[in-house]
Amino acid sequence: MFNLILQSLYSGLLSGGYFALIALGLALVFGTMKVINLAHGEMVLLAAYMAYVMESKLGLNPLMAIPLALVVACLVSVTVYFLVSRIGKNRELNSLILTFGIGIILTNAMLIVWSADIHSTAVAAFQEPVALGPLFSMKSELAFFGVSMALVGVLWWWLSRSWYGRALRAVSSNRDAAKLMGINPYRTEIVSFVVAGVLASVAGVALYCTNVIQPALGGSLTTKAFIITVLAGVGSIPGVLIGAVLIGVVEALTVTLFSSALQEFTSMALFLLVLFVLPNGLFGGARRRG
Amino acid sequence: MKLRILLPILVVLYGLVPFLFGGNNYIMSILVASLTIAGIALAWALLGNLGGMVSFGHAAFFGVGAYISALLTMKLGVPIFWAMLAGGVGSAIASIAILPALRLSGPYFALAILAYAHIFRVLATEFSGITGGAGGLLGIPVLPTVLGYSFSSKVGGYLVIITIIVIFAFIYDRIRNSYYGFALKAMHESEDATRVVGVHSTMLKAMMLFLSAFMTGVIGAFNSHYINFLEPDYAFNSGWTMLPVVAAIFGGYRTLTGPLVGAVVIYTVDQLFFKNYIPSGHQIILGALLGVMILFSPDGLMPLITKKLRWRRQVKASPSPSQETETI
Amino acid sequence: MMNLNAITVQFGGLTALKGVSLSIGAEEVVGLVGPNGAGKTTLFNVISGLVRPTGGAASFNGANVLTTPMYKRARMGIGRTFQIPQPMHELTVRQNLLVAQRFGTGSVNLAKIDEILAFLHLTDKADRDAAQDLSLSELKALEVGKALATAPKLLLLDEVLAGLETTSKRAFMKTLIELHRVYRISILIIEHDIETISTLCPRVCVLNYGQLIADGTPQEVFSNAEVIKSYTGGGHD
């Protein structure tokens, strides 16, 4: 029994890796533009389908899809940015509805092109088990966890050291003041969308290589990412990481201890709990009352 | 709404439509389905317009109302119309759980309620003893026979849903034009100003949530007795959230008739045309429609039409912004 | 009528109000002055309910104010204006007053609404959009109107004259003097202009760094050494 739990914790930890990438992309966009991109999960899924196309139509290793996925995801992301910035009034709520609509478009587009069948990587090397002590995982899970951590590390460094990183933080805390400092908010906004696209593309490929995909997954990815950002609180990258791992672990434990049907239930319940009891998330400092 | 306009509309709804289409089961089915969406769209718009909250989880209220009514009639033999009422009340009570989310800003509330809908769906699947689990509830009692008229027919179902909508629209209108309606309108952007003069803003918002949940619950209950079958993935399906949202935005969620007309148009066109061209994934057009509406006409189609009509009739300068109160 | 006892307000590390005690009787007109940041608006926020004090007590006609929720304070008889006018959006001027009256007193009296509109010279703007179609002095008048519509016993005026140019200011001052005469309510008024305060208020309280440093007639208060120091910058102690 104990071993089972330990194994769940481990699996949850590993999946937390690419969850974090998805959540970070969402959080970044929200931080700069105060806009929640409800089509974010669909963008990740699109990247995953790029990997599928790479493997099944071109016979290549899905990792080769990363450049393609990068381009596609960033294109989608930037398109969303341009559409959202065209919203005249009431941007906070109207952008929700707009991205909700974009999400529907993307999900149905994937449905049309690739049908509702589920897909997953057939590359044997990815699915080979690798042992870390008594714990097992697929090679791909471990590999992508490493990649995700590296990417998060790079992002953290970039946000705290680079000019754009600091500009992003400035714009998200006070847009007008940032403008006065000579920061172009539009450019920083686009950058955050592009970065979100980059993170999403890697997460998408990771998803394909470690999991099964189908068009309906988009919505739950967005919801999961949103839950993680709420758990983490505003403005905390380590928080997002921990939140992502927490969700991964909670879901893995639920599947092991209860049933897979309850999988989403526990993270939803956790979400509501945090929302009502700890409105600033586990680590955040900013007030969220609208 | 002026009686001059209302009376002919009622005549059309209660007299002309059943007379013309009553024999055609297919058309009646689509009509009833679209009106079901219309009812939810109205409730959704009420919450958005008066309560100032956008919800992505109305499917929760729909499903709760549906299950409560179905179970009350099946297990306890409660008369159907009372059970439908109870379904609405049950949904309103269920919405109490989402009350703490009222103090959250827009997006957080919208997503909190989405999480809520998911939770209900899973709960309904898990408590299979009561709800029939994933397999579903079969043989839910049909709409009853009253004074010799059997409402279980397609026309009967149509008459019931039309009546429900007319009543709800009436309630919505009364609130909108009352002092409570004024206060609610002002609360969107100047909540403190209203609180300082004595408006219990939190209570008013909560009331709007209860009302919206109640209405949606009644519609869900109606639906369960109309199709006589329920299962969790159906009752809590995200379509019950998505279609009303598209309908309300398309028709104009700030107006009373916008969501209603929008729903009938959207649903009918989707079922009759889009579905034929793109059998799997036809809702992509709805998504595109939603996007286009938000970008180019966020107030929807109805206001655009009424504005054009009003502009034609008027010769003098345009009225001040505050006179553009929606009366339709 | 209104009793504030040792009111203290702390925001994190900042003490906005420290042990402020103050009493206002019926039909009194009291001025509240002090340099910027002294805590005047914070005091208003405490009385009207936007801010909960971290210490102290407040009572109004015997009832405990601090345990009364914000929206009930209007019914108690406390009305306030905001320094930056906050008209109720999407409503006309008349509707602003109607809502204030309906929820602040529990009933509607159209004659009284017309009376308030006339008193504040807002009658011809009555059906215009409150948030979009009014000038600054009209917005300020509306602020007063909204508070008046709730039939208050104590009216808190927060810098109603700030930002107005001289003619409007003078007209408004006349209105304020009339206000007290006609409506016979207590008024606590924050203003920066010493001359205005001295003209309007037989009693003045001075706040500095969150503390009440003087309370008396304008002559007494403005010749008080500590008060003068607070305005000319005598530094911290």
* ipTM summary value: 0.87
Which chains, if any, share at least 3 CB pairs under 8 A with chain A? B
By CA distance, what is B322's nearest residue in C? Answer: C129
Residue A92 has a CB neighbour count (10 Å cut-off) of 16
The pLDDT value recorded for residue B136 is: 77
Residue in B286, B288, B294 closest to A94 by CB: B294
Distance (Å) from the alpha carbon of C197 to chain B's nearest alpha carbon:
25
C65 found inside a domain: yes
**Number of domains making up chain C:** 1
Tell me the two tokens of residue A36.
């929640």
Q: How far is CA A152 from the centre of its chain?
A: 12
Chain A hits for B110, CB-CB cut-off 8 Å, are 93, 96
pLDDT at C231 exceeding the cut of 80: no
Say if CB B120 and CB B237 are below 8 A apart.
Answer: no
Helices and strands in chain A, H and E counts: 12, 2
Chain B hits for A288, CB-CB cut-off 8 Å, are 104-105, 108
* Cα-based angle B159, B161, B167 (whole degrees, multiple of 5): 100
B193 touches chain A (CB under 8 A): no
- The phi, psi pair for B134, rounded to 5°, reads -70, -25
- In the CATH hierarchy, which top-level class contains the domain A10-277? mainly alpha
CA distances from B94 to B109, B117, B242, C52, C96 (A): 16, 11, 20, 32, 34
What is d(CA B90, CA B60) in angstroms, rounded to the nearest whole number? 11
C132 found inside a domain: no
What is d(CA C39, CA C18) in angstroms, rounded to the nearest whole number? 9
Chain C hits for B186, CB-CB cut-off 8 Å, are 88-91, 96, 99
Q: In which band, very low, low, confident or very high, does the pLDDT at A280 lie, cut at 50, 70 and 90? A: low
Distance (Å) from the alpha carbon of B149 to chain A's nearest alpha carbon:
42
Residue in B190, B198, B322 closest to C71 by CB: B198
Chain B hits for C82, CB-CB cut-off 8 Å, are 192-193, 196
Using N-to-C axis directions, what is the helix angle for B201-227 and B179-196, rounded to 10°?
Answer: 140
Say if CB A123 and CB A108 are below 8 A apart.
Answer: no
Distance (Å) from the alpha carbon of A31 to chain B's nearest alpha carbon:
13
Say if CB B183 and CB B52 are below 8 A apart.
Answer: no
Residue C38 has a CB neighbour count (10 Å cut-off) of 23
Residues A128-149: what's their mean pLDDT?
85
Nearest to C46 by CA among C31, C58, C32: C58
Test B199 with C103 for CB contact under 8 angstroms.
yes
Q: Are strands C14-24 and B145-146 parallel, antiparallel or unpaired?
A: unpaired
| CA A43, A48, A49, A53 torsion-angle sign | positive
The pLDDT value recorded for residue B322 is: 41
What is d(CA B133, CA B144) in angstroms, rounded to the nearest whole number? 26
Residue in A93, A104, A265 closest to B54 by CB: A93
Q: In which band, very low, low, confident or very high, does the pLDDT at A266 lie, cut at 50, 70 and 90? A: confident
Residue C72 has a CB neighbour count (10 Å cut-off) of 16
Residue in C69, C72, C89 closest to B190 by CB: C89
What is d(CA A201, CA A74) in angstroms, rounded to the nearest whole number? 8
Within 8 A by CB and 6+ apart from A124, the residues are none
- The phi, psi pair for C126, rounded to 5°, reads -55, -35
Residue in A112, A264, A288 closest to B108 by CB: A288
Any bridge partners for residue C55, and if so which? C8
Q: Residue type for A72, please?
A: V
Mutate to test the interface with C, among B180, B196, B201 (most CBs of C within 10 A): B196
What is d(CA C47, CA C216) in angstroms, rounded to the nearest whole number? 21
- Could you say which DSSP state residue B274 is in? I
C45 found inside a domain: yes
Residues A50-74: what's their mean pLDDT?
88
What is d(CA C179, CA C173) in angstroms, rounded to the nearest whole number? 9
Residue in A97, A226, A289 closest to B105 by CB: A289
Say if CB B195 and CB C100 are below 8 A apart.
Answer: no
C164 found inside a domain: yes
- Could you say which DSSP state residue B12 is in? I
Distance (Å) from the alpha carbon of B259 to chain A's nearest alpha carbon:
15
Within 8 A by CB and 6+ apart from B147, the residues are none
What is d(CA B109, CA A117) in angstroms, rounded to the nearest whole number? 33
Residues C194-211: what's their mean pLDDT?
88
Three-state secondary structure readout of C106-135: CCCCHHHHHHHHHHCCCHHHCCCECCCCCC
pLDDT at A286 exceeding the cut of 60: no
Nearest to B240 by CA among B55, B98, B27, B71: B55
The pLDDT value recorded for residue B314 is: 64
CA distances from B68 to B226, B235, C112 (A): 15, 11, 49
Distance (Å) from the alpha carbon of A222 to chain B's nearest alpha carbon:
10
- What is the length of chain C? 237
Residues C67-91: what's their mean pLDDT?
91
Distance (Å) from the alpha carbon of B169 to chain A's nearest alpha carbon:
24
Say if CB A87 and CB B295 are below 8 A apart.
Answer: yes
Tens digits of residue pLDDT in C149-171: 999 999 999 988 887 778 878 88
Within 8 A by CB and 6+ apart from B305, the residues are none
Say if CB B253 and CB B45 are below 8 A apart.
Answer: yes
Say if CB B59 and CB B262 are below 8 A apart.
Answer: no
Q: Which residues form the domain of C43?
A: 2-84+147-232
pLDDT at C214 exceeding the cut of 80: yes
Test C104 with B197 for CB contact under 8 angstroms.
yes
By CA distance, what is B179's nearest residue in C? Answer: C99
Within 8 A by CB and 6+ apart from A70, the residues are A197, A198, A201
Give the mean pLDDT of chain C.
88
State the DSSP H helix or E strand holding residue A204, giving kind and residue range, or none if neither: helix A185-210
Q: How far is CA B216 from the centre of its chain?
A: 6
What is d(CA A162, CA A159) in angstroms, rounded to the nearest whole number? 6
Q: Where are the domains of chain A?
A: 10-277
Say if CB A69 and CB A206 are below 8 A apart.
Answer: no
What is d(CA B16, CA B33) in angstroms, rounded to the nearest whole number? 19
Distance (Å) from the alpha carbon of B189 to chain C's nearest alpha carbon:
6
What is d(CA B127, CA B133) in angstroms, rounded to the nearest whole number? 6
Test B294 with A262 for CB contact under 8 angstroms.
no
Say if CB B118 and CB B246 are below 8 A apart.
Answer: no
The dotted CATH code for B25-323 is 1.10.3470
Residue in C95, C100, C130 closest to B197 by CB: C100
Which chains, if any, share at least 3 CB pairs under 8 A with chain B? A, C
Q: What is the full DSSP assignment across B56-87?
A: S-HHHHHHHHHHHHHHHHHHH---HHHHHHHH
The pLDDT value recorded for residue C237 is: 45
The pLDDT value recorded for residue B317 is: 47
What is d(CA C154, CA C176) in angstroms, rounded to the nearest whole number? 14
Say if CB C34 and CB C194 are below 8 A apart.
Answer: no
Any bridge partners for residue C60, and if so which? C2, C63
C105 found inside a domain: no
The alpha carbons of chain B give a radius of gyration, in whole angstroms, of: 20
Residue B158 has a CB neighbour count (10 Å cut-off) of 23
Q: Are strands C78-80 and C154-158 parallel, antiparallel or unpaired?
A: parallel
Any bridge partners for residue C23, and if so which? C3
* Cα-based angle B53, B57, B63 (whole degrees, multiple of 5): 130
Touch of A by B (3+ CB pairs closer than 8 Å):
yes
Mutate to test the interface with B, among C45, C92, C97, C103 (most CBs of B within 10 A): C103
Tens digits of residue pLDDT in C110-162: 999 999 999 888 999 899 998 888 998 899 999 999 999 999 999 999 988 88
A277 or B185: which carries more pLDDT confidence? B185
The pLDDT value recorded for residue B328 is: 46
Which chains, if any, share at least 3 CB pairs under 8 A with chain C? B
Residues in chain B predicted with pLDDT less than 70, given as ranges, are 1-2, 129, 133-134, 312-328
Test B179 with C103 for CB contact under 8 angstroms.
yes
**Beta-strand runs (E) in B92-233:** 137-138, 145-146, 149-150, 229-230
Chain A hits for B115, CB-CB cut-off 8 Å, are 223, 227, 268, 271-272
Q: Where are the domains of chain B?
A: 25-323
pLDDT at C94 exceeding the cut of 80: yes
Test C103 with B194 for CB contact under 8 angstroms.
yes
Touch of C by A (3+ CB pairs closer than 8 Å):
no
Within 8 A by CB and 6+ apart from B135, the residues are B128, B231
Within 8 A by CB and 6+ apart from B308, the residues are none
Q: In which band, very low, low, confident or very high, does the pLDDT at A65 lie, cut at 50, 70 and 90? A: confident
- Percentage, residues of chain B above pLDDT 70: 92
pLDDT at A120 exceeding the cut of 80: yes
- Could you say which DSSP state residue A261 is in? G
Within 8 A by CB and 6+ apart from C28, the residues are C186, C187, C203
Say if CB B149 and CB A257 are below 8 A apart.
Answer: no
pLDDT at A285 exceeding the cut of 60: no
Q: Are strands C203-208 and C29-33 parallel, antiparallel or unpaired?
A: parallel
The pLDDT value recorded for residue B105 is: 74
Mutate to test the interface with B, among A26, A33, A97 (most CBs of B within 10 A): A97
- The phi, psi pair for B192, rounded to 5°, reads -60, -40
Chain A hits for B282, CB-CB cut-off 8 Å, are 108
Nearest to B60 by CA among B34, B86, B90, B30: B90
C192 found inside a domain: yes
Output the domain CATH number for residue C169.
3.40.50.300
Tens digits of residue pLDDT in B190-221: 888 999 999 999 999 999 999 999 999 999 99
Mutate to test the interface with A, among B111, B127, B242, B299 (most CBs of A within 10 A): B111
Residue whose entry in the numeric block shows the structure tokens 């007053």: C97
What is d(CA B49, CA B316) in angstroms, rounded to the nearest whole number? 30
The pLDDT value recorded for residue B183 is: 95
C140 found inside a domain: no
